[in-house]
Chains A and B, each alone.
Chain A
Amino acid sequence: GAVVSQHPSWVICKSGTSVKIECRSLDFQATTMFWYRQFPKQSLMLMATSNEGSKATYEQGVEKDKFLINHASLTLSTLTVTSAHPEDSSFYICSAPLAGGPNEQFFGPGTRLTVL
């Protein structure tokens, strides 16, 4: 099946710093990618849709100025958590759909962010 990677797999940072997370589709192109956040013992929450060549679409309640998304190419989307605070500590997961038909999505392994 198609492979999606994320980097880094985990990161620890100080409060107030910015953290960039990369999501790559390794063997297919993705004009759209999705970013999710998951807190402990909870389900995945969709944050935004990343669109290649245009602005991301954010879900209601997600601050676009805090979670900057850049879909630089057909295989790369980045999520930057700006001025991170402890409440931003979470498991961030990206996904990319395989085009054509009732396209299933392929998920990255996730990035564990801990803000001290």
Chain B
Amino acid sequence: DAKTTQPTSMDCAEGRAANLPCNHSTISGNEYVYWYRQIHSQGPQYIIHGLKNNETNEMASLIITEDRKSSTLILPHATLRDTAVYYCIVRVAGGNQGGKLIFGQGTELSVKP
């Protein structure tokens, strides 16, 4: 699976958009970009995933560059409850062994009042 690079930490004001970048310059054509987050002392939570098109769901938006070498997770109106570590993971979709997730260090997002 391709390696990802994320900033170690970020701050965001409550109510503002949080934009979390991820670099994955070695991504392969059949690899998806997945985002998960982990609130302190809880199990990770799936947020969103995409292949090459931008995606949006009730939690966030995912913007993937045309060359697919980087992406940005957008939380449109961050709240204090969005304070968490956000993980960007690149992997081939489906299958059993292909389903395993390898976590990097992630970005620790602090949403401040």
Contact = CB atoms under 8 A, between A and B. Distances in A.
Interface of A: 1, 4, 6, 31-32, 34, 36, 43-46, 49, 51, 57, 91, 93, 95, 97, 101-110, 112
Interface string B39-72: 0011111100101000000000000000000000
Contact of A101 (B42, B94, B106): B94
Interface of B: 32, 34, 38, 41-46, 49, 51, 85, 87, 93-94, 96-97, 99-106
A4 to B, nearest CB: 8
B44 A44 contact: yes
A44 B99 contact: no
B48 to A, nearest CB: 9
A106 B87 CA distance: 14
Contacts of A95: 43-44, 101
Given A43-B105, A44-B44, A95-B43, A57 B97 contact: yes
Contact of B46 (A44, A101, A105, A110): A105
Contacts of A44: 38, 44, 101, 103
A interface: dominant SS: strand
Contacts of B87: 43
Contact of B43 (A46, A51, A104, A109): A109
9 contacts: A1-B46, A6-B43, A36-B103, A46-B101, A95-B43, A103-B93, A105-B101, A110-B41, A112-B41
A104 B101 CA distance: 10
B32 to A, nearest CB: 5
